[in-house]
Structure 1
Amino acid sequence: MLSPAVKSDIRACYQTLQDQLPHFIPRKAQNYLVAELAKTLAGDYEPKRRLLVAEAGTGVGKSMAYLMGAIPFALNNNKKVVISTATVALQEQLANKDIPFFHRICPKPFDFILAKGRQRYCCAHKLSAVADTESIQGALFTQKPKRSEQLLLNDLYEALSRGKWDGDRDSWPKPIADHLWQAIASDKHTCHAGLPAHRGCPFARAREAMDKADVVVVNHSLLLADLELGGGVILPEPEQCLYMIDEAHHLPTVARDFSAASASLLGVVSWLEKLNQATTKLGNTADIKRAHRFVDSLLDAIQTLIPGLREAKNMLSQLSLNDDGCYRFADGELPEALIAPSEQLKTASKKAHQALGKIHDLINERLKENDISAKLADPALAETAFFLQRLENLEKVWTLMAQPNSEKGAPLARWVQACREREGDLWVHVSPLEVGWRLDQMLWSRAAGVGLFSATLRALNRFSYFCRQVGLSETDGSRYLALPSPFDYANKARLVIPTMPCEPQASAFTEALNDKILEHLEGERASLVLFASYWQMKQVTQAIERTCKQRGWQLLCQGNQSRTALLKAHQQAVNNDKTSIIFGTGSFSEGLDLPGNLLTNLIITKIPFAVPTSPVEEAHAEYIERCGGNPFLQIAVPEASKKLVQSVGRLLRKEEDSGKVVLLDRRIITRRYGQSLLDSLPPFKRVIES
Structure 2
Amino acid sequence: MKLNFVAVDIETTGFDFVECEIIEIGAVRFTENSKPEYFSIFIKPQKKVPKFIKQLTHITDEQLNSGDSLVEALTKFREFIGDDIVVCHNASFDIGFLNQKLVDNNFPILSNEVLDTLDLSRIYLPFILNHKLGTVADYFKIDLTNAHRAIYDAEATGKVLQEIILFIDRNIPLIVNHRLFEVSNFLKDHFGLTYFLGKIVEHQKKTALLHKKYGKEITFGSPNYIEHNPANPTDITIDHVFQNAGLLDNHFEKYELRDGQVEMAKAVLHNFQNEEFLLVEAGTGVGKSLAYLIPSILHTNKNNEKVIISTNTKNLQEQLFDKDLPTIKKSVKTPFKATLLKGRRNYICQRKWLETTLDFGKMFSKYEVKSYLNLVVWKEFTKTGDISENSSFNLSRDGRVWKKVVSDRFLCQGRKCAHFQDCYLMNIRKKAEDSNVVIINHHLLLANMLSQNSALGEYKYLIIDEAHNIPHLAPKELGLEISYPEFNNFFAQLYSKKNRYQSGILIGLKTASTKSTFSQKDKLLEKIETTISFLEDEKSIFENLFKKVGETVEQKGNFGKLRIVNSDDFPFIFEELGKIIVIWQKLSRHIMRIKDVFGTIEKQLFIDYDKHKDFLDNISMRIDEYYNTLTSLYNPDLKNFAFWMEALKTNDKKYPNGTLVYCPLNVENILNDSLYKNLKSLVCTSATITIREKFKYFSGRMGFDLLEDVQELIVQSPFDFQKQALVIVAGFLPDPKDRFFSSQSIEIIKNSVETSKAGTMALFTSYRNMNEAYEALSDHFEQKDIPLFTQGKGMSRTAILKEFQKHKNSVLFGTSSFWEGVDIPGESLELLILFKLPFMVPSEPIVEAFLEKLEAEGKNSFMHYMLPNAILKYRQGFGRLIRHKTDRGIVLVLDNRIKTKKYGSYFVETIPAKTVFPQSAIEIEDYLARWFSKF
Interval containing the TM-score (normalised by the shorter chain): 0.7 to 0.9
| 1:612 matched to 2:842 | yes
Structure 2: distance between partners of 1:199 and 1:222: 22
Match of 1:258 among 468, 477, 487: 477
Structure 2: distance between partners of 1:270 and 1:124: 19
Structure 2: distance between partners of 1:475 and 1:75: 29
CA contact (8 A) 2:763 2:813 kept: yes
Letter in 2 for 1:685: K
| 1:20 matched to 2:233 | no
- Show the counterpart of 1:455: 687
With over 3 angstroms needed to count, the CA separation of the structure-2 counterparts of 1:153 and 1:61, relative to structure 1, is: closer
Structure 2: distance between partners of 1:213 and 1:298: 46
- Show the counterpart of 1:10: 238
CA contact (8 A) 2:733 2:894 kept: no
| 1:528 matched to 2:761 | yes
- Show the counterpart of 1:175: 393
Structure 2: distance between partners of 1:187 and 1:360: 21
CA offset digits 1:577-611 (Å, max 9, x no partner): xx211122222111111101111111112111112
CA offset digits 1:599-626 (Å, max 9, x no partner): 1111112111112222211111111121
- Show the counterpart of 1:39: 270
Q: CA deviation at 1:393?
A: 6.1
CA contact (8 A) 2:547 2:657 kept: no
Q: CA deviation at 1:257?
A: 1.3
Structure 1: distance between partners of 2:617 and 2:886: 59
CA offset digits 1:223-267 (Å, max 9, x no partner): 222211112x21131xx3311111111112222111222335799
| 1:234 matched to 2:468 | no
Letter in 2 for 1:12: H
CA offset digits 1:249-300 (Å, max 9, x no partner): 1112222111222335799599769958989756646866797999799799
- Show the counterpart of 1:217: 439
Map 1:273-292; keep pairs closer than 5 Å.
Answer: 284=510
Structure 2: distance between partners of 1:460 and 1:354: 59
Structure 2: distance between partners of 1:206 and 1:153: 20
Alignment partner of 2:414: what SS? coil
CA contact (8 A) 2:481 2:661 kept: yes
Q: CA deviation at 1:438?
A: 1.0
Q: RCO (CA 8 Å, sep 6+): is it higher in 1 or 2? A: 1
Q: CA deviation at 1:508?
A: 0.4
CA offset digits 1:50-93 (Å, max 9, x no partner): 21111111001110001122221122112101111111111111
Match of 1:115 among 338, 341, 365: 341
Structure 2: distance between partners of 1:596 and 1:317: 46
Q: CA deviation at 1:360?
A: 8.3
With over 3 angstroms needed to count, the CA separation of the structure-2 counterparts of 1:362 and 1:604, relative to structure 1, is: farther
| 1:470 matched to 2:702 | yes
CA contact (8 A) 1:600 1:658 kept: yes
- Show the counterpart of 1:29: 260
Structure 2: distance between partners of 1:124 and 1:274: 16
CA offset digits 1:146-200 (Å, max 9, x no partner): 4x7776665456x35xxx6443323346337444433322222333432241212
CA contact (8 A) 1:364 1:381 kept: no
Letter in 2 for 1:236: G
Match of 2:806 among 572, 582, 589: 572
Map 1:261-340; keep pairs closer than 5 Å.
Answer: 261-264=480-483, 268=487, 284=510, 322-324=556-558, 328-330=563-565
Structure 2: distance between partners of 1:555 and 1:307: 48
TM-score normalised to structure 1 length? 0.83
CA offset digits 1:18-44 (Å, max 9, x no partner): 32223222222211111211122222x
| 1:137 matched to 2:363 | no
Cα RMSD between the aligned structures? 4.3
Show structure 1 runs of 5+ residues with no match: none
Q: Which stretch has the larger CA shift, 21-30 or 350-359?
A: 350-359
Q: CA deviation at 1:335?
A: 9.2
Letter in 1 for 2:606: D
Alignment partner of 1:612: what SS? coil
Structure 1: distance between partners of 2:530 and 2:863: 52
Q: CA deviation at 1:503?
A: 1.8
Structure 2: distance between partners of 1:361 and 1:69: 55
- Show the counterpart of 2:891: 661
With over 3 angstroms needed to count, the CA separation of the structure-2 counterparts of 1:273 and 1:595, relative to structure 1, is: closer
| 1:85 matched to 2:311 | yes
Match of 1:394 among 604, 619, 626: 626
CA contact (8 A) 1:494 1:660 kept: yes
CA contact (8 A) 1:589 1:650 kept: yes
- Show the counterpart of 1:629: 859
Map 1:424-573; keep pairs closer than 5 Å.
Answer: 427-473=659-705, 476-521=708-753, 522-560=755-793, 561-573=795-807
- Show the counterpart of 1:414: 643
Alignment partner of 2:250: what SS? helix
Letter in 1 for 2:338: F
With over 3 angstroms needed to count, the CA separation of the structure-2 counterparts of 1:299 and 1:101, relative to structure 1, is: same
Alignment partner of 2:418: what SS? helix
Alignment partner of 1:54: what SS? strand
Structure 1: distance between partners of 2:485 and 2:424: 36
With over 3 angstroms needed to count, the CA separation of the structure-2 counterparts of 1:657 and 1:269, relative to structure 1, is: closer
Letter in 2 for 1:536: N
With over 3 angstroms needed to count, the CA separation of the structure-2 counterparts of 1:505 and 1:369, relative to structure 1, is: farther
With over 3 angstroms needed to count, the CA separation of the structure-2 counterparts of 1:353 and 1:84, relative to structure 1, is: farther
With over 3 angstroms needed to count, the CA separation of the structure-2 counterparts of 1:396 and 1:458, relative to structure 1, is: farther
With over 3 angstroms needed to count, the CA separation of the structure-2 counterparts of 1:563 and 1:143, relative to structure 1, is: closer
CA contact (8 A) 1:55 1:457 kept: yes
Alignment partner of 2:469: what SS? helix
> Matched residue pairs, number?
659
Alignment partner of 1:330: what SS? coil
Letter in 2 for 1:222: L
Alignment partner of 1:184: what SS? coil
Structure 1: distance between partners of 2:801 and 2:315: 15
Q: CA deviation at 1:636?
A: 1.1
With over 3 angstroms needed to count, the CA separation of the structure-2 counterparts of 1:502 and 1:488, relative to structure 1, is: same
- Show the counterpart of 1:194: 415
Q: Which has the larger radius of gyration?
A: 2
CA contact (8 A) 2:550 2:659 kept: no
- Show the counterpart of 2:607: 372
Q: Which stretch has the larger CA shift, 213-222 or 172-181?
A: 172-181
Structure 2: distance between partners of 1:225 and 1:79: 22
CA offset digits 1:548-583 (Å, max 9, x no partner): 233332222222222233223222221xxxx21112
| 1:99 matched to 2:322 | no
- Show the counterpart of 2:12: none
Show structure 2 runs of 5+ residues with no match: 1-232, 497-503, 514-519, 920-935
With over 3 angstroms needed to count, the CA separation of the structure-2 counterparts of 1:67 and 1:323, relative to structure 1, is: closer
CA offset digits 1:618-667 (Å, max 9, x no partner): 11111112112222222111111011101111110011111111111221
Letter in 2 for 1:34: A
Structure 2: distance between partners of 1:480 and 1:358: 58
